Amino acid sequence: MVPEIIIPEGTALFQSLKRAAMTRKLVFLAGIPGVGKSLYVQQLVLLAQKSGRTVHLFQYDVTRTAFENHPLGLQKYPEVDGVTHPMIRRAVGVWARRGVLEWLQTYADERHILIGEVPLIGSRLIELMQIINDEVESVLAGPQTLFMIPVPSNRIRDKIVAQRAISMEKPRHKKEEKDAPINVLQMVWADAHQLAVKLGLTQPLGKNVVDMPYDPAVYAAVYEYLCQNRQVETLHVDLDLKPTGSVYDLTDIASEPKAKPDEVKQIIEELETNYSLSEIAAAAEQWYEIRN
């Protein structure tokens, strides 16, 4: 099905997405599963294309697969109980900075735009948020790049979760088959809430994970903390949006950067040489410690 722009033009959300699509070189939607990132990526793509820009997609699931499906990843660092191995997560993050730099060098013309998703939680592309003395840091921290944090209201979050249940039962796109199920949405939100408690952004509720109520203010605070070293815009959303098809329906995407097999091998071997598995695991546990 041909995707359509469904966000009303008079809304603040439309204006924010349109402005980003027209003026930024790199735009990343940051957030946990189940907050609408994929829909806003789709709408950003459509707005960028409408303004005459050539769109490239940068997605964690695509970049991760290059590492998980590599012989080194399959043999030594397989997924366990649906959780990506810490070595793979770290390797993807290392590559991501290099991959963004290579894309910038390849597509320097201003008509090209890179639009992506960055989960961040649990050390998933968190390297893009850290201050590291390399060639891409000035771009990630500068005006060319914007990280957008979609924060649905409680009402909209409930609708997103309900729609997820429907799409998992009757997927309209092959990517929907790999979406995080409802129990994972709840667990990841609980992880975000626990991080908020650890950072002193909220008080512990003393509730079981399955009973942890979603809180837009707490959620926003966590992701604003994670994006503290970047230009960021928080999108507070209370709009009922109904895509005509799947949020993954997109056309005319110029490229989807991912690591080449030799890059995967080089990065994993580099990490194995410089760090022990226990150090990699420890870093994954402390993933939220943003270096300043």
CATH code for the domain of 123 = 3.40.50
Tell me, yes or no, whether 174 lies in a domain: no
Tell me, yes or no, whether 288 lies in a domain: no
Domain around 111: 12-154+223-266
Tokens in use for 110? 């201003």
Render the burial of 115-130: b for 16+ CB within 10 Å, e for the rest: bbbbbbbbbbbbbbbb
Q: Which of 189, 155, 196 is nearest to 34 (CA)?
A: 189
Tell me, yes or no, whether 34 lies in a domain: yes
Question: One digit per residue, pLDDT tens: the chain, 292 residues?
Answer: 788 999 999 999 999 999 999 999 999 999 998 899 999 999 999 999 999 999 999 999 889 999 999 999 999 999 887 788 999 999 999 999 999 999 999 999 999 999 999 999 999 999 999 999 999 999 999 999 999 999 999 999 999 888 776 555 665 666 645 555 667 778 889 999 999 999 999 988 766 666 678 999 999 999 999 999 999 999 999 999 988 778 778 999 999 999 999 999 999 999 999 999 999 999 999 999 886 5
Tell me, yes or no, whether 185 lies in a domain: no
Q: Measured between alpha carbons, how far is 69 from 209 in angstroms, rounded to an integer?
A: 32
Q: Cα-flanking dihedrals φ and ψ of residue 13, to 5°?
A: -60, -45
Element at 267 (helix H, strand E): helix 261-274
Q: Measured between alpha carbons, how far is 11 from 38 in angstroms, rounded to an integer?
A: 19
Query: Is residue 153 within 8 Å of 236, Cβ to Cβ?
Result: yes
Stated pTM of the model? 0.92
Tell me, yes or no, whether 107 lies in a domain: yes
- Predicted pLDDT at 160: 87
Tell me, yes or no, whether 147 lies in a domain: yes
Tell me, yes or no, whether 230 lies in a domain: yes
Q: Cα-flanking dihedrals φ and ψ of residue 278, to 5°?
A: -70, -35
Tracing tokens 């109520």 back to the chain, one arrives at 213
Q: Measured between alpha carbons, how far is 111 from 193 in angstroms, rounded to an integer?
A: 39
Strand order in the sheet with 54-59: 54-59, 112-118, 26-30, 145-152, 232-237
Tell me, yes or no, whether 98 lies in a domain: yes
Domain count, the chain: 1
User: Amino acid identity of 51?
Assistant: S
Q: Measured between alpha carbons, how far is 25 from 42 in angstroms, rounded to an integer?
A: 16
- Predicted pLDDT at 205: 78
Q: Measured between alpha carbons, how far is 21 from 26 in angstroms, rounded to an integer?
A: 9
Tokens in use for 114? 């890179």
